[in-house]
Amino acid sequence: MSESESQSTTKLWGGRFSRPTDALVDELNASIGFDQRFAKQDIAGSIAHSRMLARQQIISQEDQDQIEQGLRQVWSEIQAGRHEFRLSDEDIHLSVEARLREIIGPAAGRLHTARSRNDQVATDLRMWCREAILMLSAGILDVADSLVETGDRYPDAILPGYTHLQRAQPVLLRHHMLAYVEMLLRDLDRLRDAYRRTNQCPLGAGALAGVTYPLDRQFTSDLLGFDQPVANSLDAVSDRDFVIDTLASCAQISMHLSRLAEEIVLWSTPEFGFIELDDAFATGSSIMPQKKNPDVAELIRGKTGRVYGHLMAMLTVSKGLPLTYNKDLQEDKEGLFDTIDTLAMILRVLPPMLSSTTFRPEVMERSAGGGFALATDIADHLVKKGLAFREAHEIVGSVVGYCVEQGKDFPDLSDDEWRSYSDLLADDKPPLTPRDAIEARNMPGGTGSSAVADARAELPTRLDEFRGWMNVENERVQSIDALISGE
């Protein structure tokens, strides 16, 4: 590379530097390629900041009017695709400010009064992050609704429950679907907590130590829909816990959805045969015409590693940083953006995939009755007749061993065969069908039909609690749209 080719276009910062940075440094340093995603948040934050400056008589109202009008024009140009995001502007803050200066002239320079890019970027990212949390929460509710609807379509369907991927005890499919809803409810709770910690305003912290101007930080915070300003200026510019909170919540969401995806993969195999995926959510093979591959579920499962990776990357970036801001924190965005994009796509594809999947109740129930899945029920039957559970467990284990040796299952045994192990098993037959086993478990949290119906009936109230929270916060977040539109 020649000297002319490596010449930087970056402007000199004040009088400290005698030559510009190398072009390669500019390329490494620039974040404009990805932080343009929160242009809306940056412009809204600048409008709120300028209003506060004018209110506190730090800048004139005339300057503020020009700044606000010019910022709205910048936003309209960005929306229309007419704004040029230049590498020389380095980041979204300088990109917006440079265009603002072209529009309104010297008054644009007053916008940065009592503000640093350090507290500015922290504010932008918090605003972007809280919108992402609300979007993901809506997607999780959609998946929860689709799980509930799937169970409602097959209210009496029975399938084997598993431990160690070995048939254990029969359960209702509806109960199985509601187990995933419980996971998602916990995910929503984690996101709500992450949102609460995210929704604090760093503006006013300046570069790190606060500023010398008489700011009204609460006014700016209120304009932007935050709960309150960040309490400590050093923490305000260096904290990325809210990013880690969000990534950690996303990692657990991904883990739960990956578990569901794994079951879809298993259930769709001929070995299980529990479900038939709709053609729209499966793919074929380039060489084997008979194949119907659960690629969508496999991708959901596979992308979990990608989400985990971004969480670990952010934890690693943060672990060695002294107070306060360090350039390492520029690495907080790309992984977050990719995580949100990845999870949002998964949350969009899962509901139609679930709603279009055909379950095969007869296959599931036949499987639920095999593999000695009722062994525990037979042991419980003996306990109810007065035997200690350990003794009952040993008797039933011996029966299972005999059945395996003879190639039989419980329903195949004669009275004499039952009696050879215990008179209690011959005189009063234990439950021998999956449905009998299920109906014996009508206790809160159990898989009995009435217990599951009760749990299903409570779900709308529990889900609506999160919908109510989301509606309130969405209205507050929309304050930044109102700032930009001038409403």
Structure tokens at 411: 């329903």
Pair of tokens at residue 376 = 């525990």
Task: Give CA 246 to chain center in angstroms.
Answer: 8
2, 164, 286, 485: the active-site residue: 164
The answer to whether residue 164 is catalytic is: yes
> Which residue is catalytic, options 60, 285, 355, 398?
285
| Among 195, 171, 184, 186, CA closest to 145 | 184
State both tokens at 360: 């095969």
The position carrying tokens 């009936």 is 457
Rounded to whole angstroms, how far apart are CA atoms 468 and 319? 36
Report the largest interatomic distance among the alpha carbons of the chain, rounded to a whole angstrom. Answer: 101
Cβ pair 238, 329 in contact under 8 A:
yes
Contact at 8 Å (CB) between 103 and 70? yes
Residue with tokens 């003996």, as numbered in its chain:
382
Active site residue 422: no
Whether 92 and 42 have beta carbons less than 8 Å apart is answered as: yes
| Cα first-last separation, the chain | 52
3-state SS, residue 155: coil
Neighbours of 292 (CB within 10 A): 13
Closest CA to 83 of 43, 125, 131: 43
Residues 322, 22: contact at Cβ < 8 Å? no
Dihedral Cα 310, 316, 322, 327, nearest 10 deg: -50
Active site positions, annotated? 164, 285
